[in-house]
Structure formats: structure tokens, C-alpha cells
Amino acid sequence: MHRPIAVFDAGIGSYAVVAEIRSRLPQQDIIYFADRASFPYGGKNRAELIGVMRRTIEYLAGFDPSAIVIASNAPSIMVLEELSQDIHLPLFGVYPPLREAWGLSRSGRVGIMGVQSLVESPMISEFVAENSAYSERVALINASPMVELVESGEFLFAPERTQEAVDAFLTEVFAKYPEIDVLTLSSTHLPWLRRFFEHARPQCHFLDPAKDMVSRIGQGTKGQGKIRALVTEDERYDLATFRKMLSAIGVDIPLEPVQPY
């Protein structure tokens, strides 16, 4: 591989970012690291996240990457700025497409769906204030139960139960925030549920931040368009299930199991 871009998060969510890079930069070599043993990022506090991010970035730096993408909203918002101060590699994060949400909204009420640690952090409130003139009109919504539907594979192997869970979740959201007409999918797991969200609430826009993130990478580093997939596992999230999940979404790449570190 020639100066690959390394992309990681705590599971299958980051593959959507890998696919977007591959589409936009077809000759870019990519290290895809699915750290399922660290799932969920959303259940970790700031100190725990910093520890996981430092270990992961140090590990991926051994592959001589041209850049590293933290393909997860929670650490991007909560710890990326601090990490960037002493890591001498280009780091990219994923952020809620809030300005795009405002451009689409007719009601003037939008929401950010993310994991619990993100929506309860002071950093996301600061992000909203910096990117919105009406921060009081932005709802911060804990969608952690939806993330589990993805990492467990239920969205692929039990679509009817998944739709029922999504319907119930959005019923609660709109009972509390009836005027919202745009929601950002601010966990990289959530775009995998987009069709379920849209089925439950077709009049609402659901925004995926992956395209915006990949556009910030620039022209990348030309290689042969290879993807090397590294995966950690534990008793909750095993390699066989992960392989089955990728096959179900039409992805056929060799998986290299690596030990949690």
C-alpha cells in the first residue's frame, strides 16, 4: 500500500466512510479498522475516549498512513481537538452537518441524533452554538439504542423488528419535538438505518455527514485502490457475525483479525 488513509471506529459504521472515499478517490489505498472490541464509543467518558483514540492512532500510525479518519462523531466532537495538538499526522473527524440542516429546514427546528456521550457533552453544545444562530432550536437526541441495532446486525437479519424499534423511537422523538423537520445522523452507524427512519417519518430529512467529511480530505495519495480490513472482536461481537454483516451489504473483502490492544 502507498500511504493509505486509515479509517476507524468501533464497528461497521465506518465502512460507509470507506465506501465514500473509494467512490470519490478510486485509486486511494485504505486501511479499514473496525475496532468492535471497543464498541460502543458512546458509552465511554471523555478520559476513556482519549485513551482509546490515542492507542488506536498509535497503532494505525504503524501503517505509514497519509491521514487518519476518526469515523465517529462522538470522539470527533469531544477529543479530536486535543488529540491534534500532539499527533503529527493529518486527523479528520466527522461532524453533524448542521448548516446543511438549517438550509433544508422549513420549520426552523432541527435535531442532532447521536450517542449518549455526544449529546450530553458540553462540546456538542459549543459546536451547536458555533454553527447556529438559534442554538435553542437544535434538539440533541440520544440515539444510542439505534446504534446497537446496527452493530448487532439486527438491521440486516431482522428488518421487521428493526423497523418496529425505529418506529417506536421516532414516535417518542416527535412527541417531544413535533416541529423538527431535519435530523442529522450523527453516529456513523445511523446512516445504515436511514431507510428505516425515512419509512417511519417520510416528511423528515435525514442527513448523512459522510460526504462532507470525505470532501475535506482533498486529493488523497494515489495508490492501487486497495482496502485492507482489520477487525478486533470479543465475546459480544464476533468475527463470523461481522463477516456475515459485510456480505449482507454486498461487501466482499478479506478480514484480518487483530488482538485488542
CA distance 216 to 93: 10
Is the CA virtual torsion 104, 180, 16, 166 positive or negative? negative
pLDDT category of residue 260 using cuts at 50, 70 and 90? low
Q: State the amino acid at position 199 in one-letter form.
A: H
Q: In what order do the strands lie in the sheet with 91-93?
A: 91-93, 67-70, 5-9, 30-35, 227-232, 255-257
Q: Which three cell numbers stand for residue 5?
A: 488513509
Location of C-alpha cell 456513523: 188
Q: Residue 261 — very low, low, confident or very high, per pLDDT cuts 50/70/90?
A: low
Cα separation values, 183 from 101, 114, 136, 157, 171, Å: 7, 10, 15, 25, 14
Res. 234 pLDDT band, cuts 50 70 90:
confident
Phi/psi of residue 167, each to 5°? -55, -45
- Cβ density class 37-55: b for 16+ within 10 Å, e for less: bbbbbbebebeebbebbee
pLDDT at 45: 86
Better-scored residue on pLDDT, 171 or 234: 171
| Confidence category of residue 214, pLDDT binned at 50, 70, 90 | confident
Q: Rounded CA gap, 158 and 121, in Å?
A: 32
Determine the average pLDDT of the residues in 39-56: 89
Cell of 210: 459522510
Q: Report the C-alpha gap between 24 and 211 in whole angstroms.
A: 9
- The pLDDT tens digits of the residues spanning 123-160 come to 999 999 998 888 999 999 999 999 999 988 999 999 99
Average pLDDT over residues 43-69: 93
Beta bridge mates, 93: 70
Query: From CA 206, how far away is CA 185, in angstroms rounded?
Result: 6
Q: Average pLDDT, stretch 88-93?
A: 92
Cell numbers of 61, please?
Answer: 500510525
Quick count: other Cβ atoms within 10 Å of Cβ 106?
Answer: 9
- Nearest partner of 159 among 208, 123, 131, 192, judged by Cα: 192
User: Chain-wide mean pLDDT for the chain?
Assistant: 92
Q: Read off the pLDDT band of 231 (50, 70, 90).
A: very high
pLDDT of the residue at 156: 94
Distance CA 145, CA 161 (A): 13
C-alpha–C-alpha distance, residues 72 and 82, integer Å: 16
- Alpha-carbon distance 85 to 133, whole Å? 29
